[in-house]
Structure 1
Amino acid sequence: MNEHIIIKVVKVFLLICVAYPTYGQGARSKLKVVNTHCDLLRQSDYQSLQGYRLQSEWTPQAFEQGESVVVKNKVPVFGWIMNARNTSTRQQYYQLLLADNLEDIMEDRGNLWNSGKVWSSESTAVLYGGNDLRSGNLYYWKVKVWDEQGNESEFSPVSCFYTGQFVDGYETTTYPLQRTDQVPKKLIKKDQEYFADFGKAAFGQLRLNIDSPVADTILVRFGEKITSEGQIDRNPGGTIRYQEYKLSLSPGTNTYRIKFRKDRQNTGRSAILMPDYIGEVLPFRYVEIEGYDYPLHQADVQRSMVHYPFDDKASYFRSSNEILNQVWDLSKYSIKATSFAGIYVDGDRERIPYEADALINQLCHYCVDNEFPEN
């Protein structure tokens, strides 16, 4: 074959591959359905105990113990993300299956709902359209899509949700609050006092593992601000938080949890109260332990940060300007840290969900995660 003809054939083939990237390949493998949502929650089988996440088990008993995601709407909504190599690809159809048993859904049977092949680009808040759901039941679902070229995806992995007592109207489905245990970035001993710096402020609680040869009493201080001498500021001003507690020690090695006092202003009738499975929290970065003259390690001083479940990897920003990077890091972390109540509040001063504060918070949250607390 003439060399020029070969070159032309190669060029035409490359143009075809650019214009039609699925040409010559299995079209089904190019489309994927990911991040399925039920009632706007991606982890609809989320289960936890006392704020600590558990390995999810798809049994009614597992959902009923501790704190779990529970759907209370008779007509839940579903969502998903279509993942395609070509960013201009659009969803043209979807098919959603829902069953009340795992065997049917694994065999691609929706014994309660088979939507059929629906002509729609909708992939958010798709209303359930099958037989009536019942309270106290597990349900399993999956979905597949077609693009505008007729390419068909595989079904998504099976998702599961559990229904609670249904409500009239609509109730927002939410995650329970989550704990993340943290050790201090620095733990410094000076004379008979330890100073712990966790690096960032967070709403949380403190757990101490202390070995004492005798019964004793120590003083534990919490603060958000330090003085120029590097000590916790005991008169920080405004609503910057500072608290101190006397802690009685028993002989031997014991674990102590500081129970924070309630603030009258942020635990009133209009305030969002902390749930019993969490207890009262305080925003603090620094801890001082006075009167303890024995070895203490970072693992012995743990802060239990309380926050709404947050995907730290959902967003990313880096630039050549370090100040911009710091602004981003501060903004992103602030959204996570101030979600401690599970609903947008003004902060620790009143813990009241004012409309304007909630709106601004929600708009910011859109930029750093793809799931959001109740608004």
Structure 2
Amino acid sequence: MRKKIVELTGSASSVGHAFFDFGKAAYAQLELELDGRAQDLVQVVISEYAENNKVIHTTGWRTFKIDNFRITPEKKTYRFTIPVHRSAYGTFPHVETPAEFGGEVAIFRYVEVNHYYGPVTVRRIEFYNDAPEDAAAFESSNAKLDQVWDFCKHSILAT
């Protein structure tokens, strides 16, 4: 298993909203670095779907998880709690996350931070299988085909 950490930094708007797009979905965990000025309750949402810089909760099988943090007046790293996934189908209601992950993972691309008014750093700790990234290659003169290849390669490495 390979682990990759991707970090994005931004600042919340005047209405206490920050939105982050990692570009692609991945099985991952999330850490946030917040610089609290008061004991505020901050809401964090992870999701696979968003529109207009806002996470959208739809019915279906897309990831949509919410966690709330009571932040302290200091710069601190918080870990987003991903609940144990209980499958609604299949013969086994719960498949254990490998111990080396250090906790549950969820697939997500977008992060939304609400009720916070300062600088935000989000770290997505991504997990990939051990297949070498250069095991296969594809290149064409068609940009759409190249995008399909990139999507397929990312999906295979992520699962």
Structure 1 pair 301–266 and aligned structure 2 pair: CA distance change class (3 A): farther
Please point out which of 308, 318, 322 is paired with 2:139. 318
Aligned to 1:332: 153
Q: Which has the higher helix share?
A: 1
What do residues 247-294 of structure 1 show as CA deviations (whole Å, max 9, x unaligned)?
111221111111211222179862532023311111110000001101
Preserved contact between residue 221 and residue 288 of structure 1 (Cα < 8 Å): yes
Whether 2:95 is the aligned partner of 1:272: answer yes
What amino acid maps onto 2:96 in structure 1?
A: L
Task: Give yes or no for contact 1:267–1:273 (8 Å, CA) kept in 2.
Answer: no
CA-atom RMSD, angstroms?
2.1
- Relative to structure 1, the CA distance from residue 188 to residue 226 in structure 2 (aligned partners, 3 Å threshold; closer, same or farther) is farther
2:82 corresponds in structure 1 to 260
Structure 2 distance, partners of 1:210, 1:268, is 39
Cα distance, 1:333 vs. partner?
0.5
Cα shift readout 1:88-125 (whole Å, capped 9, x = no counterpart): xxxxxxxxxxxxxxxxxxxxxxxxxxxxxxxxxxxxxx
What is the letter of the counterpart of residue 208 of structure 1?
Answer: L
Contact 2:10 2:119 in 1 (8 A): no
Matched, 1:183 2:7: yes
Structure 1, unmatched stretches of 5+, are 1-176, 339-375
Letter in 2 for 1:264: R
Which one of the candidate residues 38, 52, 60 is aligned to 1:238? Answer: 60
Give 2:27's aligned residue.
Answer: 203
Letter in 1 for 2:127: V
1:215, CA displacement in angstroms? 2.0
Is the CA contact 2:46–2:111 (under 8 Å) kept in the aligned structure 1? yes
Gaps spanning 5+ residues in structure 2: where? none
The amino acid that maps onto 1:247 is F
Structure 2 SS opposite 1:272: coil
Counterpart CA distance in 1 for 2:131 and 2:150 is 14
Structure in which a larger fraction of residues adopt strand:
2
| Matches for 1:134-173 after TM superposition, within 5 Å | none
Equivalence for 2:110 = 286
Matches within 5 A, 1:1-375: 177-184=1-8, 187=10, 189-190=12-13, 191-227=15-51, 229-234=52-57, 236-265=58-87, 270=92, 271-278=94-101, 279-296=103-120, 300-338=121-159
Give the direction of change, closer, same or farther, for the CA distance of 1:188–1:320 in structure 2 (3 Å limit). Answer: farther
How far does the alpha carbon of each residue in 1:16-50 deviate from its partner, in whole angstroms, 9 at most, with x for none?
xxxxxxxxxxxxxxxxxxxxxxxxxxxxxxxxxxx
188-197 vs 255-264, greater mean Cα deviation: 188-197
CA change 1:318–1:281 in 2 (3 A) is same
- Aligned pairs, how many? 156
Q: Which amino acid aligns with 1:285?
A: R
Q: What TM-score results when the alignment is normalised by the length of structure 2?
A: 0.87
Change (3 A) 1:194 1:226: same
In 1, Cα distance between equivalents of 2:90 and 2:123: 29
Q: TM-score, structure 1 length as denominator?
A: 0.39
In 1, are the aligned partners of 2:67 and 2:81 still within 8 Å (CA)?
A: no
- Larger-Rg structure: 1
State whether residues 25 and 48 of structure 2, in contact with CA within 8 Å, keep that contact through their aligned partners in structure 1.
yes
CA–CA separation in structure 1 for the residues paired with 2:40 and 2:146: 46
Give, in whole Å, the separation in 2 of the partners of 1:187 and 1:199.
15
The residue number in structure 2 matching 1:344 is none
1-side partners of 2:82 and 2:18: how far apart?
20
Q: In structure 1, what is the Cα distance between the partners aligned to 2:53 and 2:11?
A: 11
Indicate conservation of the 8 Å contact 2:27/2:158, yes or no: yes
